[in-house]
Structure 1
Amino acid sequence: GAGFAITEMVSLEGLIRNDKKTWKYVDIDEEETTAIQLFGKAEPEKFYKASKILQSRLNVKIIDVNFGCPVRKVVRSEAGSFLLKNPLSMGEIVKALKDSGVIVSAKIRCGFDRVNIEETIPVIDKAGADIIILHPRLATQFYTGRADWSLIKIARSMTDKILIGSGDICTPMDVRERIEYTDVDGVMIGRYAVGSPYIFKQVLDFFYNGEYRGYELDEIKKMMLEFANLYMKVENRTDLIPIRSTLIQYVKNFKNSSRIREKLSKIKTLLELENVIKDWN
């Protein structure tokens, strides 16, 4: 039910070097509305080059540039949220992407170690960003504390571009309240959707029908198996070790799930997952 999706973060350098592992992250369905999410240093010419490569090989129409990632490894490489310190560089990157002929989405936080949306938003707006996605936490906060949606309300008054708010969305009511409060054009659901992918359908049902339903245990079990099978097919793997933490997210909202979470943390094969699920009631 998601109306717009974004890939995992894709290395600018990896694309340009034609790294096979990097290209795996941009294996998208051209029929879906999916943006390629790029990250890299303040090198506008490389963003332009990567965009042209993506357009020629995959007919990519939307590129999202990540100005918000707070992960230390990314920040140390002077990418992600590091660029929030230099709004002019952000503008140059957005302009380079826009000049390459794509729709440009810019994902930002409200600042690195201080709020500076009054500096960043006007710059990327003027540079040609078509979509601005704002997560109202500082990069130095990572995901601690609460997302300050009052900053998104302020951001709304600063731009008439498509504005999407992000942060602490867990229910369809959250979506309605945030939209009514800030007048954003949409919301982004990230971490919560990892273990509750059905949240998007719940939101659509709530907005179109005024109500939504919860999902029963048997339905969650089925989703987990579908996800595991899809993972093995796409990644051509026989073990589930890399997705243990994701599978655990599916069960965390159920009462008395600690025993199941512990078992999921140790599974290796699909058969082991099936046995754990059978034991969960």
Structure 2
Amino acid sequence: MLNPLAIGPLTLANNLILAPMAGITNLPFRLLAREEGASLCFTEMVSVNGLVREGRKTFELLRSVPEDRPLGIQLFGDDPQLLAEGARMVEGHGDLIDINMGCPVKKVVGTGAGSALLREPAKVRAIIRETRRATRLPLTVKIRSGWACGEANFLDIAQIAEEEGCDAITLHPRSRSQMFEGHADWQQIAEMKQSVKIPVIGSGDLFTAADVTAMLAETGCDGVMVARGALGNPWIFRQALALLDGREPDAPSTGERLRAALRHLELFTELAGERVALREMRKHFSWYSHGLSGAAQFRKAVNIIEGKEALLEALHRFFAPEAP
């Protein structure tokens, strides 16, 4: 189940992938995931409208370093020509382009992008066709099972993707109407794997290394894409690699959590400056504390603390008692 994964001309060292997540998968987060074994990491989703307008903030999402490869760039939009133009513009910044056809949030689907595209198969075909013509990079799409429960059309979309030249497809087997409620129907991933010849990557409800191995075993998918399960938990990749290699995975110590949190803060500060890093890292510190005694009080504290020194003191006070 643990194998190199070929996506078009790109061959990944293994089949464990970090999903694109808005507001999360910036350069610091990607570097931490790579250090723990993720073979491919994605940028946050990038608006093609922002790219074409040459918005500085949009291009900031593409910031990378040589260690941050191979890099997937996820684009979103609803216009075939704009998506094709966006693909041309980012071609020199990454190693693979993915088109977002699964995001369920209102501000995205309200523009006709994300999972709203699942209601328009003809537009899906046009988007993939034009984007395929525009870039020589591997091209993938990430979709949900359908717009609403009872309206699953993921197999039809997968067929379109394969016919129009996609090199792989990722399925999060929930409908848009489900958002993140209920359970991901992994059986749909297995059905897709049987219906197309291109690699199928599974996503959804991957919160532990055991979940990763279970999805690979139960669905036969070619790879997995971890999203929320990596929040405050970059070790999920290391642990999954161990399980798939027949070894017992080791849980991160409290001290290791502290070191990861501090390194994350350092990398974020280098990227965005101290003020932005301190603000944005609060949510990550909360995630790093998940499952530890006193985590609820710690989360409340870090959300109101002002200043780097006070925050560092709180981090050491919370994590240090058990740190090796």
Range into which the TM-score falls when normalised by the shorter chain: over 0.9
Q: Which amino acid aligns with 1:81?
A: S
Bigger mean CA deviation after superposition, 129-138 or 25-34:
25-34
Q: 215-224 or 264-273: which moved more? A: 264-273
Of structures 1 and 2, the one scoring higher in RCO (CA 8 A, sep 6+) is 2
**TM-score (norm. length: structure 1):** 0.94
Question: Which residue does 2:258 correspond to in 1?
Answer: 221
1:13 aligns with 49
Structure 2 Cα separation of the partners of residues 146 and 270 of structure 1: 39
1:28 is matched with which residue? 64
For residues 28 and 96 of structure 1, do their structure 2 counterparts lie closer, same or farther at Cα, with a shift above 3 Å needed?
A: farther
Question: For 1:34-49, what aligned pairs fall within 5 Å after superposition?
Answer: 34-41=71-78, 43-49=79-85
Q: Which amino acid aligns with 2:144?
A: R
Q: Aligned pair count?
A: 278
Question: Is 1:248 matched with 2:286?
Answer: yes
- Name which of structure 1's ranges 229-238 and 129-138 shifts more when overlaid on structure 2: 229-238
What is the CA distance between 1:52 and its match in structure 2? Answer: 1.4
Contact 1:51–1:63 (8 Å) recurs in 2: yes
Q: CA deviation at 1:246?
A: 2.0
- How far apart, CA to CA, are the structure 2 residues paired with 1:82 and 1:186? 25
- Residue 109 (structure 1) aligns with: 144
Identity of aligned residues (%): 31
TM-score (norm 2): 0.82
Separation of aligned partners in 2, 1:268 and 1:155: 49
CA contact (8 A) 1:30 1:59 kept: no
Task: Give the root-mean-square deviation of aligned CA atoms.
Answer: 1.5
Equivalent position SS for 1:254: coil
- 1:268 and 1:92 map into 2 onto residues whose CA distance is 50
Q: Which residue of 2 aligns with 1:94?
A: 128
Q: Structure 1 runs of 4+ off > 3 angstroms?
A: none
Offset, 1:257: 1.5
Checking the alignment, whether the CA contact within 8 Å between 1:94 and 1:124 is kept in structure 2 is yes
Paired amino acid for 1:50: G
Paired residues of 2:213 and 2:243 also in contact (CA < 8 A): no
Amino acid at match of 2:283: S
Task: Find the residue that maps to 2:46 and give its secondary structure.
Answer: strand
> Is 1:75–1:81's contact at 8 Å kept on the other side of the alignment?
yes
**What one-letter code is carried by the residue in structure 1 that aligns with 2:118?**
L
Unaligned runs of 5+ in 1: none
Deviation at 1:176, TM superposition (A): 1.5
Tell me how far 1:209 sits from its aligned partner: 4.4
Residue from 253, 258, 281 that aligns with 2:296: 258
Q: Is the 8 A contact 1:111 1:117 kept in 2?
A: yes
Distance 1:133 1:116 in 2: 14
Alignment partner, residue 197 of structure 2: 160
The alignment partner of 1:259 has SS state of helix
Comparing 12-21 and 237-246, the one that deviates more? 237-246
Larger deviation, residues 6-15 vs 59-68: 59-68
